[in-house]
A = this chain, B = another copy of it.
């Protein structure tokens, strides 16, 4: 079975040394009274304890047991209820929730690290509180005061949980063609009817009520995505005091059998004239839901990183334990730890040099969201918007790479269930798919985030990073930055006359951006190393990984540049495929 212990030293380093978020916290009245570096460290330590001791050790059991659905009732793995109660009691379910409604009000730079730990511990379990937190973000921003007062406190406390009901069997990435109907009931409420699939935590046995956020269309709605509205549809109706009333007309008809995240109930939900309440404006539902989707997409990055971190810890331990081959001994009947083999070191450094850059990046994006939220920093908001698809796609793609590579370190044992490595591969795979496939993310990044403003926000960001370069690979990264900017410019230029070009290269362009951003992350980490503060081992380790990243990972951009710079004019998009 695989173990897990939160990498607290690195987490503190990223928060307090690399990004020095405590300075920002102190400057914001709203945050200054809630959190400082000591409080944050204590929160991380407590989260580390819970995840290491209570959740992570049972992830394999959750995978084995899975969920079942009988007559609309879903049973989750046997220990989930106790673990979930633990989260509620500790206030973890409302960690980044608005204090006005009972949340703890913690900044995203901090709660993102908690997300990472939860994902390392058990992605499937993390989805129950994770979806709730996302639903709260959407309600907080778009619901009216009465709705917020009624629902948010119970969602933050964990008594109730939330979902997002978007997908239908024929409408996934393309929500505009959905068929779920909402008909005005005459009393201000609506009757929701239709079938939604892939609804994470759509039904389960962890909370007293489940609050569904459902996208549906009014009978007279405009065609396509401009006709979608958002509704709050509770499993049990709620009176004005928050007491549970009668069961709403909705049921989970089945749960999916999946490759992984077996502990997560992925439900087919049938709404049959269920009572629902409009959230936000009519026909503006997709925008409201995207508040939640964007929150979830950032959390996806944590899934990729979380699984990769656990995979790394176990591969490292195995490589130190497993004796195969001779690297120092001369005795043919003896063997040395496989970590002595360069190829094993190569695999481990590939994983860790990407993981730690990913953690720096994740804290950075979280910090941008905090700057936008607490200091109304529009530049930070624009950057967070820009980087959301990169966080989602790049971090989950690298997450799968990491888990596959770590599994490889185990040799044959990596393929055997009891070692736990294959579960990490199966579990993390979903993160590349849900909340918008990584292909969708790449298109979003290339077309809606970069091309839409001709690279303005992106160039501003990388120029700032580039001007600050201070580490051992400044020259190399500066050159890559210049090539990146010029490649982007000519790409956007060619995109004006060859519009499909951008869609063809979107995936490679997102990857290229990711590898370049991670180089900046390593530069920032190098700059934050301090012999007065950090141990010799810590500094040595960071410098080794920085060097490995610059020399053995960053060269991946060579091929990506080539792909972007040399797209053939006549690789027709009309080509017939066989």
Contact = CB atoms under 8 A, between A and B. Distances in A.
Contacts of A504: 342-343, 345-346
A465 to B, nearest CB: 22
Interface of A: 167, 170-174, 176-177, 197-198, 222-227, 256-260, 316, 319, 323-325, 331-335, 339-349, 352, 400, 404, 407-408, 411-412, 414-418, 422, 425-426, 429-430, 432-434, 437-439, 442-443, 500, 503-504, 506-507, 537, 540-541, 544, 547-548, 551-552, 555-563, 566-568, 571, 573, 575-578
Given A335-B174, A416-B257, A439 B347 contact: yes
Nearest to A413: B172
A223 B332 CA distance: 5
A412 B433 contact: yes
A555 B551 contact: no
Contacts of A256: 416-417
Contacts of A325: 173-174
A577 B343 contact: no
A575 B323 contact: no
A551 B577 contact: no
Tallying the copies of this chain within the complex gives 2
A489 to B, nearest CB: 20
A425 B422 CA distance: 11
12 contacts: A172-B411, A174-B324, A258-B416, A343-B506, A345-B573, A346-B504, A411-B433, A422-B429, A540-B576, A541-B577, A552-B563, A558-B561
Given A173-B411, A415-B433, 15 more contacts: A227-B332, A256-B417, A258-B416, A260-B415, A316-B578, A342-B504, A343-B507, A345-B573, A415-B430, A425-B429, A541-B578, A544-B577, A551-B566, A555-B566, A558-B558
Interface majority SS (helix, strand, loop, mixed), chain A: helix
A411 B440 CA distance: 10
Given A223-B332, A559-B558, A257 B573 contact: no
Contact of A575 (B316, B416, B544, B552): B544
A66 B392 CA distance: 35
B577 A537 contact: no
Nearest to A167: B412
Contact of A503 (B343, B422, B433): B343
A562 B558 contact: yes
Nearest to A316: B577
A172 to B, nearest CB: 5
A548 to B, nearest CB: 7
Contacts of A412: 167, 172, 197-198, 433-434
Given A411-B437, A432-B408, A422 B345 contact: no
Contact of A343 (B171, B443, B567, B576): B443
Contacts of A547: 568, 571
A94 to B, nearest CB: 29
A191 B299 CA distance: 59
